[in-house]
């Protein structure tokens, strides 16, 4: 990955999003792909405490038939979303410590005091996926400030044909109090005027965006999958306002606070030489 902190900051502040090519090295990309493939190969083979975190395309389109022109039968057993990735495989927990991504996050937050919220994987399965509604992420994240970043690690190339994310640059600039609960699903005729950018990038790229940027994306009707491991990260003094908590939530992998550093070492002894 090329270190371009000034460019990262300028892109993010101007547009509300940023693409970082080669954020994942080849070995990490391969192991994340293998981890996701293991989950999607047999979703119904998981015990209930894990199966509950898998959302299927067929169930989504029962609720949101406008987002897919196929029937529940036609989409088969395609997985659409895997929540709580670190519960499925320690490689996803270790990803909380992945240095290239932390470098970018520390630059954009302009602080070392940011915290992990959760990791999920959004899958647009070849030929059958639904499209995404236009939305902002902040309303469903429910935090005390909007200083949160959605960081997508692209396990596959993103193209228009496989349903690349589409963003509306600049729409992150909105006062906190003007973000509405209904912004989790913004109808086409309520979208602000402005450019729509299809984020095309190679596999291994990171795409980071402000949780208030309006984004969506098309269906995947190509033959290649489009899988994004998506982390939510909270900036300094930014806290959840509901009861919901995720595994490993609130770890602060770059914190300068010795107690937080100790927490990281004790949580990931195999990555920090087993020292307290």
Ligand X SMILES: O=C(O)CCC(=O)C(=O)O
CB-wise, 101 or 230, nearer to ligand X?
230
Residue 229 to residues 6, 85, 130, Cα–Cα distance (Å):
25, 9, 18
Give the nearer residue to ligand X in terms of CB position, either 233 or 268. 233
Is 183 a binding residue for ligand X by CB under 6 A? The answer is no
In the complex, least distance from residue 140 CB atom to ligand X, rounded to whole angstroms: 8
Q: Is 107:9 a contact under the CB 8 Å cutoff?
A: yes
Taking the complex as a whole, the smallest distance from the CB of residue 60 to ligand X amounts, in Å, to: 12
Contact 139, 223 (CB under 8 A): no
Name the residue nearer to ligand X (CB basis): 217 or 225. Answer: 217
DSSP state of 143: B
Site for ligand X in 223-262 (CB under 6 A): 228, 230
Q: Which is nearer to ligand X, 137 or 183 (CB)?
A: 137
Site string for ligand X, 112-131 (x = CB under 6 A): ----------x---------
Helices (H), 42-98: 48-51, 57-63, 72-75, 85-88, 90-94
- Distance in Å, CB of 123 to ligand X, minimum: 9
Interface size with ligand X, residues (CB under 6 A): 8
Taking the CB of residue 187, how many other CB atoms lie within 10 A of it? 9
The tally of CA atoms less than 13 A away on the side-chain side of residue 46 is 19
Q: Which C-beta is closer to ligand X: that of 180 or that of 266?
A: 180
Among 215, 220, 229, 248, binds ligand X (CB under 6 A): 215
Give the length of the chain: 276
The first and second tokens of residue 139, run together, are 């309303």
CA distances 195 to 10, 84, 171, 192, Å, are: 18, 33, 10, 9
Strand arrangement, sheet containing 197-198: 132-135, 214-217, 165-168, 197-198
Closest distance of CB 184 from ligand X, Å: 9
Identity of the residue, 117 or 215, whose beta carbon is nearer to ligand X in the bound complex: 215
Residue with the shortest CB distance to ligand X? 165
We find the least distance from the C-beta atom of residue 256 to ligand X, in angstroms, to be 30
Of 11, 84, 137, 183, the one binding ligand X (CB under 6 A) is 137
Binder among 8, 12, 119, 132 for ligand X (CB under 6 A): 132
What DSSP line would sit under 167-216, residue for residue?
EETTTT---GGG--GGGGS--GGGSPSS--EE--B-TT-EEEEETTSEEE
Q: Which is nearer to ligand X, 166 or 264 (CB)?
A: 166
Candidates 68, 115, 147, 165; binder of ligand X (CB under 6 A) is: 165
Q: Closer to ligand X at the Cβ: 11 or 137?
A: 137
Q: How far apart are CA 257 and CA 273, in angstroms?
A: 19
Chain residues binding ligand X by CB under 6 A are: 122, 132, 137, 165, 215, 217, 228, 230
């Amino acid at each position: 990955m090329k270190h371009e902190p000034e460019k990262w900051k300028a892109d993010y502040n101007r547009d509300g999003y940023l693409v970082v090519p080669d954020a994942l090295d080849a070995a990490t990309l391969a192991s994340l792909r293998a981890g996701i493939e293991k989950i999607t190969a047999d979703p119904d083979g998981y015990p209930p405490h894990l199966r509950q975190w898998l959302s299927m395309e067929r169930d989504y389109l029962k609720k949101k038939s406008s987002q897919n022109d196929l029937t529940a039968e036609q989409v088969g057993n395609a997985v659409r979303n895997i929540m709580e990735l670190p519960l499925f495989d320690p490689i996803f927990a270790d990803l909380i410590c992945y240095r290239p991504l932390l470098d970018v996050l520390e630059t954009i937050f302009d602080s070392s005091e940011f915290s992990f919220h959760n990791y999920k994987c959004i899958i647009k399965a070849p030929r059958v996926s639904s499209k995404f509604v236009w939305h902002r992420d902040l309303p469903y994240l429910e935090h005390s400030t909007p200083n949160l970043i959605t960081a997508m690690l692209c396990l596959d190339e993103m193209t228009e044909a496989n349903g690349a994310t589409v963003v509306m640059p600049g729409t992150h600039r909105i006062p906190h109090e003007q973000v509405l609960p209904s912004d989790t699903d913004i109808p086409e005729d309520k979208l602000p005027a402005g450019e729509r950018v299809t984020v095309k990038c190679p596999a291994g790229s990171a795409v980071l965006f402000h949780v208030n940027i309006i984004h969506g994306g098309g269906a995947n009707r190509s033959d290649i999958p489009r899988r994004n491991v998506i982390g939510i990260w909270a900036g300094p003094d930014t806290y959840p306002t509901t009861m919901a908590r995720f595994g490993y939530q609130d770890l602060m992998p770059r914190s300068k606070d010795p107690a937080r550093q100790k927490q990281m070492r004790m949580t990931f002894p195999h990555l920090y030489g087993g020292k307290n």
